[in-house]
């Protein structure tokens, strides 16, 4: 079955990637909102309406899982409430007062996208669904997803429940930094409870994310659908040490949309892996630059770059990026070692791709009267 899925999906996205560039890529992406970013740098490699707010259906559950892992414990015992049991399909069909370990429920959440599971997790971690959603929104803001608001833990349509393709990519990138979450989303099948637990019922789970069975280097992540959001998908893959996250929002409705969300993300991935590679553009270096220090001892200051900046670049960008030092002609004493004095910018066609700080390599004290006298005698 897995091989059949792979054949069906791969056969729908064959194209000559050497002729696929960002300008005509937009014509091939059917989703209303889409974006492709590289995980470490968060650099946007492609975007289509990436900053427009849209509903995101069950891709919401990526954040549900993040908050549950960070605020709960895998061995926590979750007791299912009446509210959780009444959640609409898709559901695990949890029963009121049924008990499951939190860690086991996260597989239900991410592999089969069960709505009742999401509510049970939210109530266990947040005390209420509403408070848990506040926690989700706060976490989104913390990681840079500023245009995201959660009102449901499962992604069911609700007023003021929205994100952007870009924000969702940031959330996905953050999720991939958690090994526990990666283990969950890359699991193909599992039976819960994984350990015997009184009051629990047995459930068999199968990962419904077809992307992980059909794309080279796939590492997740989450599908979604509601009548309002349409078919949505966040996918991630790693090839040759470069991890990409692709997002497709409102890819369509019905069976066509169900397949299109995968096609769009696969098209984004093919574009990214074909046209970009990661390069160390800035490496740590002492004696990077020097500037004059007014009324200082010594009267010059050496700057160092302690940061490493690695970026995904196309071949053309790699050949034409420029490093620009942005530093003052002089600075007033005193200066403390490690103080940020300037920066080095990575420019391509006058656009700043990234930057690194330039810091004082040593202390510079303010000159005293005695220092000026000594200097005067030396000049004699």
Q: Could you write out the DSSP letters of every residue in 289-344?
A: EEEEEETEESSEEEEEE---EEEEE-HHHHHH-EEEEE--SEEESPB-TT-EEEEE
Tell how strand 330-332 and strand 300-305 pair up: unpaired
- Looking at residue 380, what is its pLDDT? 59
Domain regions of the chain by residue span = 2-275, 280-379
Buried b / exposed e over 227-242, threshold 16 CB at 10 Å, is eebbbbbbbbbeeeeb
Q: What is the pLDDT of residue 92?
A: 98
- CB 80 within 8 Å of CB 100: yes
Facing residues of 284 across strands? none
Residue 17 has a pLDDT of 36
Q: Which CATH superfamily is domain 2-275 in?
A: DD-peptidase/beta-lactamase superfamily (3.40.710.10)
- Establish whether domains 2-275 and 280-379 are of one fold: no
**Residue 21, pLDDT score:** 66
User: Is the CATH number 2.60.410.10 carried by domain 280-379?
Assistant: yes
Q: Are 77 and 197 a contacting pair, CB within 8 Å?
A: yes
Contact between 78 and 120 under an 8 Å Cβ cutoff? The reply is yes
Q: Given the structure tokens 């995101």, which residue do they identify?
A: 56
User: How many angstroms separate the CA atoms of 357 and 261, rounded?
Assistant: 40
The residue whose two tokens read 């960008």 is 317
Q: Which helix (H) or strand (E) holds 238?
A: strand 230-239
In 3-state terms the chain splits into helix, strand, coil percentages (rounded to 5) of 35, 30, 35
- Residues contacting residue 282 through CB under 8 Å, at least 6 positions apart: 305, 307, 308, 309, 323, 344, 346, 354, 356
Q: Do the beta carbons of residue 272 and residue 52 sit within 8 Å?
A: no
pLDDT averaged over 10-residue windows placed end to end, the chain, 380 residues: 40 37 84 98 97 98 98 98 97 97 98 98 98 98 98 97 98 98 98 95 97 97 98 98 98 95 98 97 96 94 97 96 96 96 96 96 91 73
pLDDT value at residue 378:
75
Q: Tell me what pLDDT residue 26 has.
A: 86
Interacting residues of 61 by C-beta distance below 8 A, sequence separation 6+: 109, 110, 113, 118, 153, 154, 155, 222, 224
Q: Which of 228, 178, 172, 164 is nearest to 68 (CA)?
A: 178
Q: Which of 166, 132, 130 is nearest to 148 (CA)?
A: 166
């Amino acid at each position: 079955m897995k091989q059949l899925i792979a054949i069906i999906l791969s056969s729908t996205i064959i194209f000559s990637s050497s002729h696929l560039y960002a300008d005509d890529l937009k014509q091939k992406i059917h989703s209303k909102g889409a974006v492709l970013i590289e995980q470490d740098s968060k650099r946007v490699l492609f975007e289509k309406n990436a900053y427009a707010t849209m509903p995101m259906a069950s891709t919401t559950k990526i954040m549900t899982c993040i908050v549950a892992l960070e605020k709960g414990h895998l061995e926590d015992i979750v007791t299912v409430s009446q509210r959780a049991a009444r959640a609409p399909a898709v559901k695990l069909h949890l029963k009121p007062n049924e008990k499951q370990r939190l860690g086991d429920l996260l597989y239900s959440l991410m592999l089969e996208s069960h709505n009742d599971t999401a509510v049970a997790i939210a109530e266990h971690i947040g005390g209420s669904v509403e408070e848990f959603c506040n926690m989700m929104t706060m976490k989104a803001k913390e990681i840079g997803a500023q245009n995201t608001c959660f009102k449901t833990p499962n992604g069911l349509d609700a007023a003021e429940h929205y994100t952007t393709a870009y924000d969702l990519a940031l959330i996905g990138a953050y999720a991939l930094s958690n090994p526990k979450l990666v283990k969950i989303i890359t699991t193909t099948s599992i039976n819960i409870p994984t350990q015997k637990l009184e009051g629990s019922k047995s459930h068999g789970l199968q990962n419904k994310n077809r992307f992980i069975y059909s794309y080279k280097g796939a590492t997740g992540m989450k599908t979604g659908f509601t009548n309002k959001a349409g078919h949505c998908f966040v996918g991630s893959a790693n090839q040759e040490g470069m991890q990409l996250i692709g997002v497709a929002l409102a890819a369509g409705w019905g069976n066509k949309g169900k397949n299109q969300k995968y096609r769009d993300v696969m098209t984004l991935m093919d574009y990214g892996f074909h046209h970009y590679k990661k390069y160390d553009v800035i490496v740590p270096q002492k004696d990077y630059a020097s500037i004059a220090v007014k009324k200082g001892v010594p009267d010059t200051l050496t700057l160092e770059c302690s940061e490493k900046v690695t970026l995904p670049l196309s071949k053309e960008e790699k050949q034409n990026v420029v490093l620009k030092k942005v530093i003052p002609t002089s600075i007033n004493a005193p200066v403390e070692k490690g103080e940020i004095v300037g920066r080095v910018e990575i420019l391509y066609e006058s656009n700043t791709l990234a930057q690194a700080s330039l810091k004082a390599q040593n202390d510079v004290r303010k000159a005293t009267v005695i220092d000026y006298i000594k200097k005067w005698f030396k000049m004699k």
